[in-house]
Structure 1
């Protein structure tokens, strides 16, 4: 039986690459995006390669669109096999200088969107006794970084949400949970994050300026160290996502590069893929 996959945030970056990769490997792909008018690049590939893919509207900050998307898939296929919670937004700005609207937006987009999309598919995955929820998290979900406290806070929340969920839905309902944790990605996501930092961040003045300048200089240095492969392409991260989706016994968490692995080592060395901790929690509570 062919599996289907719902992917959020597919207009560009990792989501776009995931949609193409799953489609080329004979999945039925529901490529969702907040604004389907931005799907022309994906439509062109669908037509040229005759991929079994449908572009559908879904805004992870709008519960009605989430439910409509899930309901439409169930009406057509009767099931959802894989959910890739990819939609997210970069943000680099101090909490002191962020507005209430920005704080709620970064939390809604990067964390609550994952929660509500997951909540929408769980009843159907439970019924079919099978499913896989893959969250595009980040090394920022394991390691806090300067000027990224709001983004990291949201990704830390994703990590905790997934870890807790995995302690009981996997054994009871055969629903697997995986967090994919990239480092830097050279996509529009990164460009957007930099724009939010430098243009809207208003960090070019005030007491944060010396710290911010050191931070940005370090970013530029890492970006130029190509031999260390700090920044991956969206395609490279998508390959990890697809590999996880094919895995019958996937890890709870996986980094996508050597740099990401090294960066998180102090947090992950005792339990790199998260499975030991999940097993310990199950033994303690269940």
Structure 2
């Protein structure tokens, strides 16, 4: 039986491209999303290319839906080989002007969802003594950025959670963990982030406005400088994810572009793939 893969957030962007790419490479794909009404484009590709993709409802902020999706896969296949924690949402806003609801939301989607999806698959991977958990994080999980501190905080949490988990679950149960760390991605994710960015009208009479205008100008400048490869396509990131899935000894973390590598270099140059630190932690604690 071919390996199966559960992917979250597949209606657009990296998740959409990953679902198609993995199916094209002979994986059985369970493509999940919060709103199945957004699955039309994926359904069209499935029909056109006769892809082995099954659509399932899964809302990463709803534990019951996560459990239901995992149980469906287990009943059909008896196993889960790979989990790709892809679902996430961009958020750019000042801490001062973010509501309690917004702060909880960005944390639920980008961090708690990853934890609960991981928690749901681990028992089955542990019993089968094999599995792989791949997380689409961000250079924002390594480097804090202006007006993105709440998003970065959630992604930092994913990085720390997975780093700690990898220290004992990989050797003991043969469950490999990798954080895939893109820079900017030119997908619906970016559009969503912009829509949730601080309304300039709210800043018009505040001290944040000149800082925020510099931030927006810098984003636009980088977007226009394609040679720097700041904004990758969803497919380019999906290709890195597939490479990780096919690697028998995958890294703990990997950047997806030269720009992302350079941007986070001060944090990663001593241990680019994260494996040295994991080894050190294991020798210290286990």
What TM-score, normalized to structure 1?
Answer: 0.98
Question: Alpha-carbon deviations, 1:133-166, whole Å to 9, x = none?
Answer: 0000000000000000100000000000000000
* Separation in 2, partners of 1:228, 1:142: 19
- Residues 8 and 32 in structure 1, CA contact (< 8 A), matched pair in contact too: yes
**Paired position in structure 2 for 1:69:** 69
Matches within 5 A, 1:186-225: 186-199=186-199, 202-225=202-225
* Separation in 1, partners of 2:147, 2:201: 10
* Separation in 2, partners of 1:33, 1:166: 26
Displacement after TM superposition at 1:199 (Å): 4.1
SS at match of 1:90: coil
Displacement after TM superposition at 1:201 (Å): 8.3
Aligned length: 286
Structure 1 unmatched runs, 5+: none
**Paired position in structure 1 for 2:149:** 149
- Residues 10 and 19 in structure 2, CA contact (< 8 A), matched pair in contact too: yes
**Paired position in structure 2 for 1:36:** 36
Question: Alpha-carbon deviations, 1:22-81, whole Å to 9, x = none?
Answer: 011111000000011110000011111111110100000000000000000000000000
- Residues 145 and 152 in structure 2, CA contact (< 8 A), matched pair in contact too: yes
Matches within 5 A, 1:218-237: 218-237=218-237
Displacement after TM superposition at 1:228 (Å): 1.1
**Paired position in structure 1 for 2:239:** 239
Question: Alpha-carbon deviations, 1:61-109, whole Å to 9, x = none?
Answer: 0000000000000000000000000000000001110000000000000
**Paired position in structure 2 for 1:94:** 94
SS at match of 1:31: strand
**Paired position in structure 1 for 2:121:** 121
Name the CA shift for 1:216/1:78 in 2 (closer, same or farther; >3 Å): same
- Residues 94 and 198 in structure 2, CA contact (< 8 A), matched pair in contact too: no
SS at match of 1:284: helix
- Residues 93 and 148 in structure 2, CA contact (< 8 A), matched pair in contact too: yes
**Paired position in structure 1 for 2:9:** 9
**Paired position in structure 1 for 2:60:** 60
**Paired position in structure 2 for 1:268:** 268
* Separation in 2, partners of 1:96, 1:176: 39
Name the CA shift for 1:201/1:15 in 2 (closer, same or farther; >3 Å): farther
Displacement after TM superposition at 1:226 (Å): 0.8
Structure 2 unmatched runs, 5+: none
Displacement after TM superposition at 1:261 (Å): 0.1
* Separation in 1, partners of 2:212, 2:205: 10
* Separation in 2, partners of 1:285, 1:201: 51
Question: Alpha-carbon deviations, 1:108-152, whole Å to 9, x = none?
Answer: 000000000000000000000000000000000000000001000
Displacement after TM superposition at 1:195 (Å): 1.3
SS at match of 1:197: coil
* Separation in 2, partners of 1:92, 1:105: 13
- Residues 200 and 209 in structure 2, CA contact (< 8 A), matched pair in contact too: no
- Residues 97 and 201 in structure 1, CA contact (< 8 A), matched pair in contact too: no
